[in-house]
Structure 1
Amino acid sequence: MAEADRPSTILIRGGRVVDPAARRDEIADVLIMYGRIADVAPRIERPVDRVLDARGLVVCPGLVDIHVHLREPGQERKETIADGARAAVRGGFTTICAMPNTEPPLDTRAHCEFVVDQAARAAAARVLPIGCVSKGRRGEALAELGDLTDGGACAFSDDGDPVRTAALMRRALQYAAMLDRVVIDHCEDPSLSCGGQMHAGVVSTELGLPAKPGVSEDVIVARDILLAESCGSRVHIAHLSTARALALVREGRQRGARVSCEVTPHHLLLTDEAVRGFDAA
């Protein structure tokens, strides 16, 4: 829609307005004037250009997804930044953070700027690139985190793989603290997980599938929290899945560690028992 064709006043009528920052959860009307929220009240009566019936719907601030895998650059046949940004908006997400495990990975300022520029052209959701911790995501040399920040990186991660060594993670946390950024880690010790395909337990044994013990996650979570505490830095644990790892995060926060975590729907809703019904045919 051309800018001149956009309605200048919109009334969203009768939705459930949820705004945690304002401690608001109520049925109300929302008045938008010239692209900004002008009023929220139980009932608004005034002439407007357009009325949207939101009865039975939730009206809330745009959602933010901090862990998105867009396939551009390198695998545009799967998804482009524009496609991902448009899909995000359709789902209610106005900001998404793009992980760096693309081809090539987001390990230079130019690569981060490319993501920002492509998102601007799409004019849909805001896309914030997450820069690599290490050059090429190889876990060897630290990427130029300052340059990545200047290119628009909102955080740093080698997601898809953990930050390989404690020494590299410590340096990344120290630089991230100076740059006011967070390090997001894929918490899994490859020497313990060994390419496993599912949780190590009775089901994996019965099915004869290579498996990952839960402790492969726990040891990296413990490492990262201790390092973040020692540096006064922020660390975010990606796709946490074990009870012990959650306990470690809780204990760290109680001590004052600047640690946060996320979970995925399948880790919340499924167990390894779901694999019993898998039919490879």
Structure 2
Amino acid sequence: MTHTYVITGGTTPDGVQTDVAIDANGSIAQLGQQLATDGAEVIDATGKIVLPGLVDLHTHLREPGNDDAETVETGTRAAAKGGFTAVHAMANSNPVADTAGVVEQVHRLGRASGWTDVYPVGAVTVGLKGEQLAEISAMHDSAAKVTMFSDDGMCVWDPVLMRRALEYVKSFDGFIAQHAQEPRLTEGAQMNESALSSELGLAGWPAVAEESIIARDVLLAQHVNSRVHICHVSTAGSVELIRWAKSQGINVTAEVTPHHLLLTEDYVKTYDPVYKVNPPLRKDSDVHALRQGLADGTIDTVGTDHAPHTAETKQCEWVVAAMGMTGLETALPVIQHTMIDTGLLDWHAVARVMSVNPARIYRHADQGQLTDTGSLVQGAVANLAIYDPSHTFVVNPAQHASKSANSPYKDMELSGQVTDVFYRGHRVVAEAELTTPYQHS
């Protein structure tokens, strides 16, 4: 079969210099040395890493209803520029994605955008209110085929509802992604509870509010033999709880955000609301524990928790500012800075935590083989990203594809750049610029 593209000179995550040929069907036709390039467009990836397309289990695309901050179109453009070929859109839109109709709308918008795959995440409870289970089965049976359910932004605080939700999703091997925050311990919380929060006069968000929910939920998952995923882990105690749960054979997975791997509560001293996030930035010791947890496999994935906000809701007084940070376009450089440059991970491990593991958790699989997402093997759909780790730049949110500019890394110098992205064999990013979207049939 005629090759459409041949990527030459790049290094796979295993550290082997390998050419990659992509055929006209959008599949990886060959991997090897000095592949024939007759009739193909040749892309020189010398000095670059060829990664499987990144997969984000935790993205806020805001649409429907909050399209002044982000849309599926702008959010997936940002994702593509960051090297992602699949994102999972959280349910806290307006209306909430708690019915088959809303998740199908998000699914259709994703296909229409053509920059990445978009998998809607269904709400666990109606309106994210924590009072009544949402239409879980209907969302799974819909055209969107929802497998992941989360009230992210809110905690499923009622243990009876959480148990019932875990039992519902068990029937189709789905899972609940929990925003671990005991609401009664965090009323009015503005930042991490510590000596610094007292000094700054801001209400504290204690670590135990996260850890107590994780402890409860891993035991519930064990009790009903179901799957639970812990969103945006932020404390050292949470890492230890997840490590213990895994040692007991409990079916728990967990994610960490790039910002929790890099930033600490000390940034809050500026009172700049760009650093206001939920869960809050924690202490140096927590950052160290999170990095170690990701390195040793206790934490399974990196999830961006990309949370765009308008200038009106973010550039205001700290106490009334919205919580959240953008992160899709800076995720890989931050992971390079925190995990590669520190020697905690190699590129094989980065592919595992940013592609393979999130795809495995969502069950992007066909008879056990990851053929659509998270893999770089012959015969797989050509979802891949080419990354230049030597490129240095200063973060400028005004240049991002996201509709919002609330990046905590503004003016920070980082290394690394996604230069090319193939989504279903179509080159959606070329030389670090967006090209044209993939046209779904």
TM class by shorter chain equals: over 0.9
What's 2:190 paired with?
197
Q: Secondary structure at the match of 1:147?
A: helix
Residues 5-49 of structure 1: CA distance to partner in whole angstroms, max 9, x if unpaired?
Answer: xx952110101122xxxxx33111111122221211132244132
Please give the residue correspondences for 1:102-117 in structure 2 after superposition, counting only pairs within 5 Å: 102-117=93-108
In 2, the alpha carbon distance for the partners of 1:42 and 1:202 equals: 57
User: Taking CA–CA contacts closer than 8 Å with sequence separation of 6 or more, which of the two structures ends up with the larger relative contact order?
Assistant: 2
1:272 positional shift: 1.7
In 2, the alpha carbon distance for the partners of 1:249 and 1:77 equals: 37
What's 2:138 paired with?
147
What's 1:43 paired with?
34
Whether 1:138 and 2:129 are equivalent positions in the alignment is yes
Quick check: 1:11–1:48 contact (8 Å CA) kept in 2?
Answer: no
What's 1:33 paired with?
23
Q: Secondary structure at the match of 1:11?
A: strand
When the two structures are superposed, what TM-score results if normalisation uses the length of structure 2? 0.59
1:276 positional shift: 2.0
Q: Secondary structure at the match of 1:12?
A: strand
In 2, the alpha carbon distance for the partners of 1:60 and 1:274 equals: 32
In 2, the alpha carbon distance for the partners of 1:141 and 1:277 equals: 40
What's 2:214 paired with?
221
Quick check: 2:150–2:177 contact (8 Å CA) kept in 1?
Answer: yes
Q: Secondary structure at the match of 2:70?
A: coil
Quick check: 2:175–2:226 contact (8 Å CA) kept in 1?
Answer: yes
- Give structure 1 stretches of 5+ with no counterpart: 1-6, 19-23
In 2, the alpha carbon distance for the partners of 1:48 and 1:130 equals: 41
Paired residue type of 2:49: V
Larger Rg: 1
Paired residue type of 2:198: T
Whether 1:15 and 2:10 are equivalent positions in the alignment is yes
In 2, the alpha carbon distance for the partners of 1:56 and 1:25 equals: 11
Alignment length (residue pairs): 270
Whether 1:268 and 2:261 are equivalent positions in the alignment is yes
Instruction: Check 1:220–1:91 CA distance in 2 against 1; reply closer, same or farther (3 A cut).
Output: same
Instruction: Check 1:143–1:103 CA distance in 2 against 1; reply closer, same or farther (3 A cut).
Output: same
Q: Secondary structure at the match of 2:132?
A: coil
Select the residue among 173, 178, 181 that pairs with 1:180.
Answer: 173
In 1, the alpha carbon distance for the partners of 2:254 and 2:34 equals: 39
Quick check: 2:182–2:210 contact (8 Å CA) kept in 1?
Answer: yes
1:179 positional shift: 2.1
What's 1:85 paired with?
76
Looking at secondary structure, tell me which structure has more strand per residue: 1
Which sits farther off after the overlay, 270-279 or 242-251?
A: 270-279
Residues 143-188 of structure 1: CA distance to partner in whole angstroms, max 9, x if unpaired?
Answer: 1110011222231111100002000000000001112111001001
What's 1:3 paired with?
none
Select the residue among 212, 221, 237 that pairs with 1:244.
Answer: 237
Residues 78-105 of structure 1: CA distance to partner in whole angstroms, max 9, x if unpaired?
Answer: 2111221222122211110000001010
In 1, the alpha carbon distance for the partners of 2:162 and 2:197 equals: 32
When the two structures are superposed, what TM-score results if normalisation uses the length of structure 1? 0.92
Paired residue type of 1:112: V
Q: Secondary structure at the match of 2:222?
A: helix
Which sits farther off after the overlay, 115-124 or 40-49?
A: 40-49
Quick check: 2:23–2:29 contact (8 Å CA) kept in 1?
Answer: yes
In 2, the alpha carbon distance for the partners of 1:46 and 1:139 equals: 57
Runs of 4+ in 1 over 3 A off after TM superposition: 277-281
Paired residue type of 1:164: W
In 1, the alpha carbon distance for the partners of 2:82 and 2:141 equals: 29
What's 1:4 paired with?
none
What's 1:21 paired with?
none
Which sits farther off after the overlay, 24-33 or 187-196?
A: 24-33
RMSD: 1.5
What's 2:43 paired with?
52
Quick check: 2:147–2:173 contact (8 Å CA) kept in 1?
Answer: no
Which sits farther off after the overlay, 30-39 or 122-131?
A: 30-39
Quick check: 2:3–2:21 contact (8 Å CA) kept in 1?
Answer: no
In 1, the alpha carbon distance for the partners of 2:46 and 2:93 equals: 41
Q: Secondary structure at the match of 2:9?
A: strand
In 2, the alpha carbon distance for the partners of 1:14 and 1:197 equals: 49
Q: Secondary structure at the match of 1:88?
A: helix
Instruction: Give me the identity figure in percent.
Output: 43
